[in-house]
Amino acid sequence: MLAVNNSINHLSKEVIPSVENRDGLARLSKDFQPEDVKFLLALNIDSSKEDCMAAAKEMTERLKVFTENGYSHSDTKLEKKKYVHRIVK
Amino acid sequence: MYDLNLARILAFDIATKIPEIYKLNNAPNCLVDVPTNYYFHDISRFESFCKEALLASNPKANIHIIDDYYAEVSVIGAYYELGDDYNIIINPNKNTCWRRFALIKELCSLYTNHYHRERGTETLHRFDDYQKSLESSVHQKNLIEKKNLDDSNLDSDTFAILLACEIMIPPKYRKYTNGLIDRVRSGEMTMNDVAQSLSMPEYILQKIVDMDYYKDSCLFYEDQKVAEIINK
């Protein structure tokens, strides 16, 4: 039972957006303008324009879900990362 | 709006404000044997520098660096702004040099957009649709293929690439780097060796050193006054 509760708690935290998040979701959906996303294409390979468009579109879709979920959503396979490394002497 | 000289001036500005980017005790040997973790240490400081610049005008500003594990090979990175959030998306499936290049280039986009906005100029591209956006990115590739860049053709992305290259080939070590490039031309080394030592993509390094812009850039840093400030 405890395991089930933990599982539900986990779900509610990770998957179900809070009311606050829902409000945020509406706002973000309105504000999110995919055409403002600027892409850096792989300059060293000759991908077709169609391939680039498809890849960029998919990336934008993932990004949209990720931002609307407050920068956390395991299903998007996106991960917020901070590049902190040791200081090299 | 974007001229070639501005890239050098901004790079010079960054180099003087965060000299520790280039301050390595083992220089110039660092260009031959760079410790693995060096790659992102300098970017971490550059990221802080960009954030400080943003915070001065917007206390709520936040930079998010996001890895996209589903990213296709054709996309290295992306950048967009949403309210107070500045988002940089990196394709983690690329090698260290490309990831480093993408991150620096997108931070340069962020910094130059902010730099211009602070001066009352809106520089963010407002593309009509995906098609136009991507055509611009493809156009970016055509531009970097050119040896001689014309100011009038310079869009914000190309500008960010030039600025990224200025940062990735540190002004302080420009002379030493040029020495290595001369050794490539005489067949003693390969461009890949130099690119690896600078932790930047060979493709980008080859393109940039072939450009007239790079030669002008080197002359700029050789100027006695500029050199004195950089070598402090």
Contacts of B70 (CB under 8 A, 6+ apart): A58, A59, A62, A76, A77, A78
Task: Measure A1 CA to nearest chain B CA, in Å.
Answer: 35
For chain A, the straight-line distance linking the first and the last C-alpha, in angstroms and rounded, comes to 53
Q: In this model, does residue B164 exceed pLDDT 50?
A: yes
Contacts of B58 (CB under 8 A, 6+ apart): B84
Residue A87 pLDDT grade (very low, low, confident, very high; cuts 50, 70, 90) = very low
pLDDT (mean) for B186-197: 87
The 3-state secondary structure of chain A, one letter per residue: CHHHHHHHHHHHHHCCCCHHHHHHHHHHHHHCCHHHCEEEECCCCCCCHHHHHHHHHHHHHHHHHHHHCCCCCHHHCEEECCCCCCCCC
Q: In this model, does residue B124 exceed pLDDT 70?
A: no
What is the Cα–Cα distance from B123 to B120, expressed in whole angstroms?
Answer: 9
Average pLDDT, chain B: 74
Q: Comparing B122 with B149, which gets the higher pLDDT?
A: B149
The pairing of beta strand B75-82 with beta strand A38-41: antiparallel
Most confident of A67-71, B142-146, B227-231: A67-71
**A25 at interface of B, judged by CB pairs closer than 8 A:** no
Q: Give the whole-number percent of chain A exceeding pLDDT 70.
A: 44
Task: Measure B106 CA to nearest chain A CA, in Å.
Answer: 8
**A46 at interface of B, judged by CB pairs closer than 8 A:** no
Q: Locate the chain A residue with the closest alpha carbon to B130.
A: A35
pLDDT value for B186? 93
Rg (CA), chain A: 18
What is the Cα–Cα distance from B8 to B122, expressed in whole angstroms?
Answer: 21
Interface of B with A in 7-36 (CB under 8 A): 24-25, 35
pLDDT value for B220? 82
Q: Comparing A19 with A43, which gets the higher pLDDT?
A: A43
Q: In this model, does residue B173 exceed pLDDT 70?
A: yes
pLDDT value for B48? 80
pLDDT (mean) for A52-68: 82
**B77 at interface of A, judged by CB pairs closer than 8 A:** yes
pLDDT (mean) for B91-108: 87
> Which of B74, B76, B103, B155 is the mutation pick for testing A, counting most A CBs within 10 A?
B74
Please state the ipTM of this predicted complex: 0.74
Residue A2 pLDDT grade (very low, low, confident, very high; cuts 50, 70, 90) = very low
**B206, B57 Cβ separation under 8 angstroms:** no
pLDDT (mean) for A49-74: 79
Most confident of A9-18, A32-41, A57-66: A57-66
**Is B138's CB within 8 Å of A49's CB?**
yes
CA dihedral over A56, A61, A64, A67, signed as positive or negative: negative
Residue B187 pLDDT grade (very low, low, confident, very high; cuts 50, 70, 90) = very high
Contacts of A83 (CB under 8 A, 6+ apart): B40, B43, B44, B47, B65, B103
Q: In this model, does residue B230 exceed pLDDT 90?
A: no
Q: Looking at B25-39, B48-62, B86-100, B206-220, which range is the least confident one?
A: B25-39
**Is B80's CB within 8 Å of A36's CB?**
yes
What is the Cα–Cα distance from B225 to B221, expressed in whole angstroms?
Answer: 9
pLDDT value for B49? 82
Contacts of A74 (CB under 8 A, 6+ apart): A14
Q: Looking at B26-30, B38-42, B109-113, B168-172, which range is the least confident one?
A: B26-30
Q: Which helix (H) or strand (E) holds B131?
A: helix B130-145
Q: Which of A35, A78, A84 sits opposite B68 (nearest CB)?
A: A78
Structure tokens at B60: 């709520």
Convert the pLDDT of each residue in B126-162 to its tens digit. 333 444 555 555 556 666 666 676 665 567 777 888 8
CA dihedral over B153, B83, A40, B44, signed as positive or negative: positive
